[in-house]
Amino acid sequence: MRYVIVSGGVLSGLGKGVTASSIGMLLKSLGYRVTAIKIDPYLNSDAGTMSPFEHGEVFVLDDGGEVDLDLGNYERFLDITLTRDNNLTTGKVYANVIEGERRGDYLGKTVQVVPHITNEIQDWMDRVASIPVDGNGDEPDVCIVELGGTVGDIESAPFVEALRQFQFRVGKENFVLVHVSLVPVVGVVGEQKTKPTQHTVKELRAAGLSPDFLVCRSEEPLEQATKDKLALFCHVSPSHILSAHDVSNLYRVPLLLEEQNTTAMIAEKLGLEMTADRPQLDAWREMADHVDSLENEVTIAMVGKYTGLTDSYLSVIKALQHSAFKVGAKMNISWVDATGLEPESESKDPELYAKSWQDLKAADGVLVPGGFGNRGIEGMILAAQYARENHVPYLGVCLGLQVAVIEFTRNVLGKAGANSTEFDEDTPHPAVIFMPEGSRTHMGGTMRLGSRQTNIQTEDCAAVRLYDGATEIHERHRHRYEVNPDMIADLESAGLQFVGKDTEAQRMEIIELAGHKFFFGTQYHPEFKSRPNRPSPPFFGLVEAAFASQTN
């Protein structure tokens, strides 16, 4: 097993995740099997309890793991399927060690950060690196390990120390350290400043780790003089100082690294074979060119809650973009704060109210993504009603399906006050109810998480076409509430079709509306399995219909 460690310095948010994914993609294009581990030095056991408002989206895996959004980047770039253990957190490491201590595993020893925590970290990487991820059961050849946070943080110190020891455990010939840093331009002269990078490398070296490569984030390409200076002060060969300047689209990042001979240099260090024939890389280049060449545009109104931080909907945005690339258009997302659509806004914030409705009406399609909690629900219901009544393409994901069902129950079945018991426990018409997995009466269960099967009920539906004729589909879930089974018959006779159900036909997985050009909802989250070259089918359905509606 070879390891490529990606660490970061100076500040967070430099695109370490994209760098790590890009390097993985490049090594994969040589024909190697590549996996990835993300280290998050926070104390949470997993990302499931973290607010997407603060930390970005909670990414969900097949096995039900609720993990950091960087695992989504790896899955998309490397086209692999990861496990919850591919996300290592301080919380998980300490929990294992403390549990072991209680079991008596340490034979009377004092349990300490070094060596017990650091050993646990190394054992974890060793174990998880060999888990097959590409669906054919073979062990990976290379593992990318991304160390979250910035080197020098108190929190990441045990991980840095574990990595220092790890280079000896696995052998230096199997270990490459890539450090991502920032080269800012300050002042009127416009000089590229190397000092922040010098400092972060100094910190790394003091911890016993010397970077093999520096990836320098900057606006413009690194100048030769900057590279020479960094080489001199950072103990890195000038050819190993890589410029990661701004590019026209995300998919250019691996290509940018490739142009600087990165793949060949890493391959040499790790004893991997270079090949001239790299169809994956060619296809990637084509995709990057295609994205840059798009002239048309398609606008989707995203009616949600956390509209301030786009990372809270990262996979949804990706799935929309992948779909837009396929129809041959740029994705323009119009953010509509759901509360702005609510009647109370009209008096409280008339400008917001006017703008929200204007944006909703100007869009080619409407998307209501997943979410929890009360806020904005009435606005989302209004958005669903608007899309239904005006034949505007609509996709509801999880909560988005639930609000569409509530809206239909209220306005088509005429059951005023219909709601989800999540938002109104005493609703006279519970259209959506708490239905934990396993039992309808037992309230001890919690979230329905991870991959579950959906069975398509009829040949005559959009889902069959979008999923290429498949009648059994597997998608990822993260929810507690379901459409009330007692209301299905009424809803169906009024035209809302439940074309996808779980294997017991108890849980409604896909809705479609008869006679509407595209009105689709999924109880699962299809965005998590979208790929740049294989957009998620429901998202593609929305974008395709939205794009077509422009010309009609």
Q: Does 480 interact with ligand GLN (rule: CB under 6 A)?
A: yes
Closer by beta carbon to ligand GLN, 183 or else 314 = 314
Examine residue 527 and tell whether it contacts ligand GLN (CB under 6 A).
Answer: no
Is the Cβ of residue 148 or residue 396 nearer to ligand GLN in the bound state?
396
The Cα–Cα gap between 302 and 366 comes to 6
CB-nearer residue toward ligand GLN: 60 or 327: 60
Q: Specify whether 429 is catalytic.
A: no
Pairing of strands 241-245, 213-218: parallel
C-alpha–C-alpha distance, residues 367 and 358, integer Å = 15
- Burial (CB < 10 A; 0-12, 13-18, 19+), residue 94, is middle
Question: Least distance (Å) from ligand GLN to the CB of residue 83?
Answer: 21
Catalytic residue among 240, 322, 429, 525: 525
Report the nearest approach of ligand GLN to the CB of residue 485 (Å): 15
Contacts of 336 (CB under 8 A, 6+ apart): 301, 302, 303, 304, 307, 356, 359, 360, 383
Closer Cβ to ligand GLN, 242 or 435, answer by number = 435
- Which of 74, 31, 3 has the alpha carbon at shortest distance from 266? 3
Going by C-alpha positions, the residue among 82, 70, 72 that lies closest to residue 35 is 82
CB atoms inside a 10 Å sphere around CB 357: 18
Parallel, antiparallel, or unpaired: how do β-strands 191-192 and 185-186 relate? antiparallel
Q: Which residue, 265 or 398, is less far from ligand GLN as judged by CB?
A: 398
Q: Which of 124, 213, 306, 481 lies at the binding interface for ligand GLN (CB under 6 A)? A: 481
CA dist 506 → 440, 483, 496, 509, 521 (Å): 10, 9, 16, 9, 17
- Please report how close the Cβ of residue 301 comes to ligand GLN at its closest, in angstroms: 18
476 contacts ligand GLN (rule: CB under 6 A): no
Residue in this structure with the two tokens 């990078």, named with its chain if needed = 197
Tell me, yes or no, if 143 is annotated catalytic. Answer: no
Burial class (CB in 10 A: 0-12, 13-18, 19+), 175: buried
Residue 399 touches ligand GLN, criterion: CB under 6 A: yes
CB-CB contact of 200 with 163 (8 Å): no
Contact mark string toward ligand GLN, 429..468, x via CB under 6 A: ----------------------------------------
* 461 is a catalytic site residue: no
Which bin fits 190, alpha (ψ -120 to 50), beta or left (φ > 0)? left
| Residue placing its CB nearer to ligand GLN in the complex, 356 or 523 | 523
Indicate the residue among 61 and 151 with the shorter CB distance to ligand GLN: 61
> Which member of 75, 342, 407, 527 is catalytic?
527
CB of 371 to ligand GLN, least distance (A): 5
In the complex, least distance from residue 384 CB atom to ligand GLN, rounded to whole angstroms: 14
The set of residues, in sequence order, having a beta carbon less than 8 Å from that of 198 and lying 6+ positions away, is 230, 233, 234
Q: Least distance from C-beta 433 to ligand GLN, angstroms?
A: 10
In 250-398, which ranges are continuous DSSP H helix?
252-259, 262-270, 279-293, 314-327, 343-348, 350-362, 377-389
Residue 352 has which token pair? 């917001």
* Choice among 398, 429, 475, 482 that is catalytic: 398
Q: Give the x-and-dash track for 351-390 against ligand GLN (CB under 6 A).
A: -------------------xxx------------------
Residue pair 336/307 in contact by the 8 Å Cβ criterion:
yes
Q: How far is the CB of 447 from ligand GLN (least distance, A)?
A: 7
* Closest CB to ligand GLN among residues 275, 439: 439
Of the candidates 70, 422, 502, 509, which one interacts with ligand GLN according to CB under 6 A? Answer: 422
Nearest to 525 by CA among 432, 423, 451, 435: 451
Residue window 33-72: x/- pattern of binding to ligand GLN, with contact defined by CB under 6 A = ----------------------------------------
Type of residue found at 410? R
Q: How far is the CB of 461 from ligand GLN (least distance, A)?
A: 22
Give the active site residues.
398, 525, 527
**Which residues of this chain interact with ligand GLN, rule CB under 6 A?**
370-372, 398-399, 422, 478-481
